[in-house]
Each structure stands twice: as structure tokens, then as C-alpha cells.
Amino acid sequence: MLRLRARSVHPVTAPPIHDGAVLVDVGGRIAAIGPNSQVPTPPEVEALEFPAAVLVPGLVNCHTHLELTHLAGRNAERDFVQWIRAIRTLKDATPPAEFSRAAEQGVRDCWAAGVTCVADTGSSGSPLEALARLGARGIYYQEVFGPDPAQCAASVAELTAAVERLRPLVSRRARLGVSPHAPYTVSEPLYRAVAEFARGAGLPLAVHLAESREETQLVADGAGPFAEALRARGIRVAARGRSPVEHLVQLGVVQPGTACLCIHCVQVDQRDVELLRDAGAAIAHCPRSNRAHGHGTAPLGAFRRAGVKVGFGTDSVVSTGDVDLWSEATAAGLGGEEALRMLTLEGARALGHDAEIGSLEVGKQADLAVFPSTALSRLLPPSAALLTVVAGRVVHRYIQAP
């Protein structure tokens, strides 16, 4: 059992508690929460005290690429289409053992930043292996690619094999989904086939969607650098006269009854926002990545007013350099309790996990993070967590340099 006391405890679903405490039971769930004087101290409990810190729910990172952790600082391409191409070259040059090390380091970096749940997309399978091996919480979406309709069957076969290989690693804590990557890497028949596969297998979907202007150009007009690159490979490209969001709605990827995490959603108008809401889709909002690549700003206010589920994601460290969610909230102009809610409960809602995590309530999983007390009051927050707990187990402790 574990008992944590802090200067303030922030349940998110209830007002902050000054000099509060949380008791975690042997099953890794929250057994009690309240003012320190009212939370029991059973014999032989491990009791930790943080008199100058805040105790909050563990942060939920709705978009990572943990298998790319080793590539931080390795792609200086300014042009997005070239950047995507460079990532592919770097990935092709990465041996499997390196993906494995990168994913494990990525999980540990998340823990050090107070992140206790990730929604990760990748193609190597290493992130799910790392989640399972380390006892971390998260969902890993296996990516599938294939811009040429002629590749569709081969891509589906590859995806099916990857899912079969990864399924034994799945647990309540380490989950699996599938991700048809993006409109410039996935053909129409492949989108349809993967959506059908996901529904049949009961797996959630994640898609990179409406990220760049070049993507909209491709989907709407059949033009621009993505279209040119596809034509150069002999792939037919047509103008569809619709937005990327409309495109995925028409293909049955974004639709009611199918859990779909839509990553980025920068290039959207009010109709797209309503389509996303009506489909029950969730957004992974990545303001720092969007800014770094010059995509613009996703309409967070419009999403929230429409009642679309939104969580924050740091995207790959190649884009943003770290997995610091507080910086994402700051980049979106949020601070204090509002930022905390978006990074915890709203992130958990976006992933459909809010019954288990995202707030500090009796009976919920004990996913917790302790930050220096400035985390909630300063706009430039310290990203390092003092302590991180997943399902009642301490997974990270900040050790001050001597």
C-alpha cells in the first residue's frame, strides 16, 4: 500500500484539497482521498510526503511516436513533405533493436514528465512491447501504409499479421488499436478495408488527419506536392472536392460507433468540426508540433464549444523535442486547473478511459503524478515530475543531482 501527502491534492472532479492525501490499496486503486487528517494511515503503508508539491492525476498524452525517441534532433527539414520523407529514410535505417530501445526510453521519458498513459502510433510494434514489458499504461496503434490501391491486399495482410503477433501482449493496461496513417499514405480501398478490419476485430482507430495544407490540396484538388509525389510513383490521383475530414467520413473511418482518435485536425472548418462531433470522434491536439511544422493552429475553442472530445499530445520528439504536456497546454494558452483538466480527465475521455483514469476518485486506478507546486501557477512549468505512479506502483522518482 502507498500513502501520498502533498501541499495540495487536485482531484480534477472536485475542488483542490489543501494539505491533502491519497491512499492506494494493494490492488493499485485509490482507496481514500481527502484532507490529510481524514485519510487513514494503515500499518506498514509506504508513506511519502511532499510538503512543497502538488499531487495530480497522471497526465494523459494523446499522441506520441515512442519508437522514434532516438531520432530527436535528427530531422532539420523545414518543408513538411520533405520532412515526412526524411523520417521514412531515418526509420528505414533503424534496426529493430534500436526501435525497442527507443520505445523503452520513450516510456521512461513519459514517466519522468508525469505522463501515466500514452496513445502511441508506430509501425515496429516496439511501443506495445515496451508498454507490456514495463507495466506501463497506454494504447498502441499499429500503423498501416499503402497509397497505391494495388497495394491494398498486401497492406491488409501485413496489418493482420502484425495484429496477430502483438495480440498476446494486450492487457487491460497495454491496449492495441490500428492506424491507417494519413490521406497521403493510404488509398481509399485501404481506408475502407482497415475500418472494416478494426470493427471486426473490435479495435479502435487512430488517424493523422487534416494536419497540413498540402494534405488538403491533395484530397480536395488532387494537387500539390503530395499529389505530385504520388503521380511520380504511377499512382492515379483525383480531385475529390472534399475536405480530409469529409473524406474519412465518406470512407467509413470516422463514423458513429467506431472509436477514432483524429490526430492534429488543424485544417478544418465549422462543418468538419460538426462532422467530427456527430461521429463521436476524439481529437489529439498537438499545438507545438503544428506550430513547429508551420501548419497553423487547430480550433481548440470550436472543438470544445461543439462538445468534441479533445486531449493533448506531444507528437514525436523529432517534432517537439520532448514529451512535456505542460508545454502543450501553455502553447494553447491554457494554465492552472483548466490546463490540468485538459491534460488529465479530458485526455482520458478522448481515449475512452475516463471510467478508470483521469481524476483522483475512490475506486479509480491510482495513476498519479507529483509536481513542484509551481506547475499549476506559472506559465512556464517545470516538466519534471517528482514522483510518478501507475496503477499504484512508483515508476519514477526524481533524484536531485548532488
Q: How far is the CB of 319 from Zn ion (least distance, A)?
A: 8
Asked whether 20 and 28 are in contact (CB, 8 A), the reply is: no
Range 301-360, binding Zn ion (CB under 5 A)? 315
Q: Which residue has the cell 486547473?
A: 337
Q: How far is the CB of 15 from Zn ion (least distance, A)?
A: 35
Q: At what angle do helices 80-92 and 225-232 cross, to 10 degrees?
A: 50
Per-residue mark of binding to Zn ion, 210-249 (x: CB under 5 A): ----------------------------------------
Cβ distance to Zn ion smaller for residue 4 or 68: 68
User: Long-range contacts made by residues 379-384, C-beta under 8 angstroms, separation at least 24?
Assistant: 379/330, 379/335, 380/330, 381/326, 381/327, 381/330, 382/326, 383/113, 383/114, 383/322, 383/324, 383/326, 383/327, 384/112, 384/113
DSSP characters for 274-299?
HHHHHTT-EEEE-HHHHHHTT-----
Range 47-106, binding Zn ion (CB under 5 A)? none
Cβ distance to Zn ion smaller for residue 214 or 315: 315
Cβ distance to Zn ion smaller for residue 21 or 206: 206
Q: In 58-122, which ranges are E strands?
A: 59-64, 115-122
Q: How far is the CB of 139 from Zn ion (least distance, A)?
A: 14
Q: Which residue's Cβ has the minimum distance to Zn ion?
A: 315
Query: How many chain residues are in contact with Zn ion, going by CB under 5 A?
Result: 1
Q: How far apart are CA 218 and CA 197, in angstroms?
A: 26
C-alpha cell at 70: 532516438
Cβ distance to Zn ion smaller for residue 38 or 297: 297
Q: How far is the CB of 286 from Zn ion (least distance, A)?
A: 7
Q: How far is the CB of 227 from Zn ion (least distance, A)?
A: 21
Q: How far is the CB of 128 from Zn ion (least distance, A)?
A: 16
Q: How far is the CB of 202 from Zn ion (least distance, A)?
A: 24
Provide the residue type at 296 as one letter. Answer: G
The CB density around residue 400, as the number of other CB atoms within 10 Å, is 5
Q: Which residue has the cell 482531484?
A: 11
Q: How far is the CB of 40 from Zn ion (least distance, A)?
A: 44
Cβ distance to Zn ion smaller for residue 20 or 106: 106
DSSP characters for 366-393?
--EEEEEGGGGT-SS-----SEEEETTE
Asked whether 325 and 319 are in contact (CB, 8 A), the reply is: no
Cβ distance to Zn ion smaller for residue 119 or 237: 119
Cβ distance to Zn ion smaller for residue 4 or 139: 139
From residue 280, give the alpha-carbon distance in Å to each of 118, 297, 324: 20, 22, 27
Cβ distance to Zn ion smaller for residue 327 or 365: 327
Binding interface with Zn ion (CB under 5 A): 315
